[in-house]
Amino acid sequence: MSNQFTLNDSYKHKGLRRKLVQKVKEKGIYNDAVLNAIETVPRHFFLDSAFHELAYEDQAMQIGSGQTISQPFTVAYQTQVLDIVEGDKVLEIGLGSGYQACILLELGAVVYSIERIEPLFERTKALLSKLGYQANLFLGDGTIGLEQHAPFDKIIVTAAAPEIPDNLLNQLAIGGIMVIPVGGRENQIMYKVCRTSEKDYSKQALDGFRFVPLIGKKGWKR
Active site members: 70
Burial group, residue 199, by CB count within 10 angstroms (0-12, 13-18, 19+) = exposed
Phi, psi of 168 (to 5 degrees): -70, -40
Burial group, residue 139, by CB count within 10 angstroms (0-12, 13-18, 19+) = middle
C-alpha span between 104 and 41 (Å, rounded)? 10
Q: At what angle do helices 99-106 and 72-82 cross, to 10 degrees?
A: 40
Q: Please give the span between the terminal C-alpha atoms of the chain, in angstroms, as a whole number.
A: 23
